Structure 1
Amino acid sequence: MHTIFEAIVIGIVEGLTEFLPVSSTGHMILTQSLLGTHDDAVMKTFDFVIQLGAIMAVVLIYWKRILSLFGLVKRRSESKHGRKLNLLHILIGILPAGVIGVLFNDVVDEKLFNSTTVLIGLVLGGILLIIAESRKEAPTTTVLDDITYKQAFFIGLWQLVSIWPGFSRSGSTIAGGMLSGVSRAASADFTFIMAIPIMFGASGVYFLKNYDALSSTDLPFFITGFLVAFVVALLAVVTFIKLVQNMKLTYFAYYRFAVAIIFAIYMFFQ
């Protein structure tokens, strides 16, 4: 039986880390390890439910742009060339991870969701951030509306590595965007918008897959985690989006290395 305390703690961790390139999934796995939570179908579904709660904060921040993708709101383009981000950009971006995620979902769950793989992902993901930040060429795309279909697909390909827990979806896609000539700020904006359909889809898949393992007694656990993640993310999202847009990725890489080292020492003495 999972407790409300676990829901609150893990919800806070999710809300604080979802929008930073440090891997919210990795932090949740490490947190659950520290709390000694049971790794079962309920917990796996819970992880995606609270990620969905955090993503709802992004929906509130970007609601005008999201509606403009469907033509429901008119919005002036930020592009000097008159371009506009559209649904095809998003579909191209989510396609690679969506296909691979569906095909290898069970393998990822069974083989990769553990503390050791997270530590590896934190380190390798940190190296990726350093490589992206070391790019010397000036970005060719500085605003979200100027992202090309080719760049959207390239970012989507980099999102594939985030299937490995600890790499970070936002870290992989922001780094991938920078490596394809997109500015850090535009890459972050595209990453957050692209996360919305990915997380809605993943949460729906996990809920349907594990529906039989859930019961009405799990409802308070899920609701608490969802609300905590949503509120914490909503309070942090504006600050964190600005932080990710303007702070060098190398600082996040150093943080990832520190977390990996500290937790590795903890695991060694367990």
Structure 2
Amino acid sequence: MSDLLAALLLGILEGITEFLPISSTGHLLIAQHWLGPRSDLFNIVIQAGAILAISLVYRQRLWALAHGLHRPETRDYALKIGAAFAVTAAVGIPVRLLGWELPETVTPVAWALILGGVWMLLAERVAERRPDRTEATWTVAVLVGLAQVLAGVFPGTSRSAAAIFMAMLAGLSRRSAAAEFAFLAGIPTMFAASAYALVEYAATPGAPREDWGELAVAFAAATATGFATVRWLLGYISRHRFTPFAIYRFCLGALLLWLLPAGQ
């Protein structure tokens, strides 16, 4: 398989899995186990392609937020999105500076998929017993920010799943409202992560050469598939539970543990 085709497939995979609660980073690491490893820069920048997709999906909501800051309720919501991003940056940057890197083996991803599935089922069950609320609180903002860091440190956790279910447990019990807040908080987070990775790459002497053509193809594929995926997901969660995604995580995690020898 050519490197360009592999990059295209990884971009498609990223776009499909970034917003589904099944872990895009985990799926990329699994795919790269067979398609060949990619740099952290590649993995982070194609995630920005998926975030560009959700920016397009929520373009009217973002426009309304930007032009409605004179209204207290709109300004309050925007500030809480900013707070979630600030928490992620305040905790995530030191973690990155301490030398954190993605794992090179699939085994920890497999366990994160399984444990994340358990977390999803428990969190949704608890959230359903609480009053139906659609207003994000400051507690929701802080915990969503921390959840994004947790998902980054443990690939296989899923940023979207961690943020959505943390928001639901913190009081934003309606699935659609929790998903919107989690996705909007992810926009500045992932764009900032991509910018940080680019600056870090440029400032690193002797950094491995990156094929910008392959990166551009993967970015475009992630954007296109991410747009279609998130449009579908928003319609799905308005009527259905997250249970099928948890079952998928159990099955994939168990399959990986069965197929791969320990330590791979």
TM-score by length of 1: 0.85
Pairs within 5 Å for 1:71-86: 71=67, 83-84=73-74, 86=77
Q: How far 1:130 moved relative to its partner?
A: 1.1
Structure 2 equivalent of residue 185 of structure 1: 176
Supply the distance in 1 between the matched residues of 2:161 and 2:99 (Cα, whole angstroms).
19
Contact 2:48 2:219 in 1 (8 A): yes
Matches within 5 A, 1:1-270: 3-35=3-35, 37-39=36-38, 43-71=39-67, 83-84=73-74, 86-105=77-96, 109-110=100-101, 112=103, 114-135=105-126, 136-142=128-134, 146-163=135-152, 164-182=154-172, 183-211=174-202, 212=204, 213=207, 215=209, 218-268=211-261
**1:134 match: secondary structure:** helix
* Structure 2 residue identity aligned to 1:165: P
Question: Whole-Å Cα distance in 1 between the matches of residues 228 and 146 of structure 2?
Answer: 31
Match of 1:22, SS state, is coil
Distance in 2 (CA, whole Å) between partners of 1:113 and 1:201 is: 24
**Which is further off, 198-207 or 154-163?**
154-163
Say if 1:113 and 1:70 are closer, same or farther in 2 by CA, change over 3 A.
farther
Distance 2:124 2:213 in 1: 42
Say if 1:229 and 1:165 are closer, same or farther in 2 by CA, change over 3 A.
Answer: same
What's the secondary structure of 1:98's corresponding residue? helix
Alpha-carbon distance in structure 2 between the residues aligned to 1:231 and 1:86 = 28
Change (3 A) 1:27 1:209: same
* Structure 1 pair 53–86 and aligned structure 2 pair: CA distance change class (3 A): same
Q: Is the 8 A contact 1:113 1:165 kept in 2?
A: no
Say if 2:11 and 2:218, in contact at 8 Å, map to a contact too: yes
Tell me how far 1:214 sits from its aligned partner: 5.5
CA distance in structure 1 between the aligned counterparts of 2:60 and 2:102, rounded to whole angstroms: 39
Verify the 8 A CA contact 1:53 1:229 in the aligned structure 2: yes
Q: What is the distance in 2 between the residues matched to 1:73 and 1:57?
A: 24
- What is the aligned residue count? 255
Give the SS at the match of 2:67.
coil
Q: 1:151 and 1:235, CA in 2 relative to 1: closer, same or farther beyond 3 A?
A: closer
Higher mean C-alpha deviation, range 57-66 or range 21-30:
57-66
Q: Which runs of 5+ in 1 are unaligned?
A: none
User: Residue deviations 1:194-230, cap 9 Å, x none?
Assistant: 1100110100111111225264x61111111011111
Q: Offset of 1:186 from its aligned partner?
A: 0.5
Partners of 1:214 and 1:68 in 2: CA distance: 42
CA RMSD of aligned residues (A): 2.4
State the identity as a percent.
31
Q: Secondary structure at the match of 1:70?
A: helix
Report deviation, 1:113.
5.2
